[in-house]
Chains A and B, each alone.
Chain A
Amino acid sequence: GESVGLHLPTLSVQEGDNSIINCAYSNSASDYFIWYKQESGKGPQFIIDIRSNMDKRQGQRVTVLLNKTVKHLSLQIAATQPGDSAVYFCAEPPGESGGYQKVTFGTGTKLQVIP
């Protein structure tokens, strides 16, 4: 079946450094991806999305890169801050042939920021 997965379950980063969180996907027909952030004790929050007609999209301190050739996307956080400590999920909303309204989530990567 289709799957969305993450390479690293836990990532420790020094405050001020850049963070890179990776995600692999298996459905080559996927055309839309979303990154969510989940802080401890809270529900996930939308961070940024990217469509398959783009290779890169930038937000405030975050950049998402999409490599369709190897079916890989990454989330880059610049100048990581303690408030960035959270679990990050990549998510894959369904395409035309996918399940109606179903979103597939990866298992998540925990980002720990070291002060």
Chain B
Amino acid sequence: DVKVTQSSRYLVKRTGEKVFLECVQDMDHENMFWYRQDPGLGLRLIYFSYDVKMKEKGDIPEGYSVSREKKERFSLILESASTNQTSMYLCASSPRGRAGELFFGEGSRLTVL
């Protein structure tokens, strides 16, 4: 059963902490994405990567960074967490040439106190 796995379903962190959200996919997909989902705002793209060590800013990259050292793994980093980064974070992957056919993980709900 193919899947996208996010390492943590629920996290609680304090303001100023460094936060790592990990995502692994087993479908050999080239493209990987990080979205955040907030009520009334839908899904907003933070960063994406179309190849190992490649990254592109999405619509809301401020306050975030990413790492793609291996094809199957895409990490989202909050260098200094803030309360406005409390959200549901969704990782997704898609095959090359079929960008819209996204496979999502279950999500990581982050609360920053």
Contacts and interface: CB of A to CB of B under 8 A. Distances in A.
Do they bind each other? yes
Nearest to A36: B102
Most buried by A among B33, B41, B100: B100
Given A105-B43, A107-B41, A42 B58 contact: no
B45 interface: yes
24 contacts: A36-B102, A41-B106, A42-B107, A43-B104, A43-B106, A44-B102, A45-B104, A91-B102, A92-B100, A93-B100, A94-B99, A100-B56, A101-B33, A101-B48, A101-B50, A101-B56, A101-B94, A102-B58, A103-B33, A103-B45, A103-B100, A105-B42, A105-B43, A107-B40
Nearest to A44: B104
A52 B45 CA distance: 24
A34 B100 contact: yes
Contacts of A25: none
Nearest to A33: B100
B102 A46 contact: yes
Interface of B: 4, 31, 33, 40-43, 45, 48, 50, 56, 58-59, 90, 92, 94, 99-107
Contacts of B105: 43
Interface in A4-55: 32, 34, 36, 41-46, 49
A56 B94 CA distance: 24
Contacts of A46: 101-103
B50 A108 contact: no
A94 B103 CA distance: 17
Nearest to B99: A101
Most buried by B among A32, A45, A92, A101: A101
Nearest to B41: A107
Contacts of A107: 40-42
A44 B33 CA distance: 13
